[in-house]
Amino acid sequence: MTFLITGGAGYIGSHVVRAMTLAGEQVVVLDDLSTGDEDRVPEGVPLVVGSVLDRLVLDRTIAEHRVTGVVHLAGKKQVGESVDKPLWYYQENVQGLTVLLEAVAHAGIRNFLFSSSASVYGMPDVDLVTEDTPCAPMSPYGETKLAGEWLVRAAGRAHGIATACLRYFNVAGTATPELADTGVFNLVPMVFERLDAGEGARIFGDDYPTPDGTCIRDYIHVEDLADAHLVAARKLAQWAGAGDYKDLTVNIGRGEGVSVREMVELINEHTGHTEEPVVTPRRPGDPAKVVASADRIAAELGWKARHDVDAMIISAWEGWGAHRVTAGHHTEQR
């Protein structure tokens, strides 16, 4: 069994590669390195530099490495950028997926795991978001993820492919400092960047209908997320081996909400900082509360998150410091 992991040189992808190789699975990585880093790919794991839009590269990679399953993480994922560049996002995320699925169907591969997102839900007005909560994405990025799910399921039914769509909630932390998130797009690294500059974290709005007025989110440790991919990929292979071409859609979260203010206070506590957060106006489209129900994945796959928010912050801070030093930044880490 050999899994092709697209986007395997990225932050999340490299953790999936790590989890699968540590578990004894054979993997090959395909990444265009537009945001990925080849240094994230472990020694001994083949890295093919190329795009999922390139059918020739896909066909050659699948044949040369005898790929029998696919874990698809490659894609663009910034909400604001997707609003500015919707055509590019649909090209990369939907057309790229189309070309990949064509190659998968042509090669007779019978299991396919798709990296989706909680952004498919939009602004759900519920205490816990289940997989049956209506999807109403609010950005081109979210739309491409929902369209991707439709496409994956349709291709699975048409071509006899067992499929899974994993809807991530808010990912943080790192398994090792070398694999830390170096992009400043999510809350934790955004706060770190402010603290490095000697400034308080920025909170976008404190007048939401929540206990402390700030948004509530469900945070998942990237190591737990990677383990969920391993469990799901193995389940798909099991189904495909039995000729059972099911489709599975599950949330990947902890089922626990943490407010932005609580998260900032925890970050300050674990990093030794005391800067007071700065409250600025709300960002358009931010829902007050998005917390996952993780019951379905527990029932279907026996998976449950193991790491808490403290572990996410501590590991992320360690990784942030390691990359700061590597980059030649000498800001004191307090």
Report the b/e string of 155-186 with b at 16+ CB within 10 A: bbeebebbbbbbbbbbbbbbbebebbbbeeee
Classify strands 258-259 and 216-217 as parallel, antiparallel or unpaired: antiparallel
Closest by CA position to 247, among listed 239, 256, 259: 239
CB 260 within 8 A of CB 214: yes
What distance in Å separates the CA atoms of residue 106 and residue 115, rounded to the nearest whole number?
Answer: 21
Q: Is 141 a catalytic residue?
A: yes
Out of 141, 168, 208, 219, which one is annotated catalytic?
Answer: 141
What distance in Å separates the CA atoms of residue 137 and residue 167, rounded to the nearest whole number?
Answer: 13
Backbone torsions φ then ψ of 195, nearest 5 degrees: -65, -40
What distance in Å separates the CA atoms of residue 258 and residue 91, rounded to the nearest whole number?
Answer: 34
The catalytic residue positions are 141
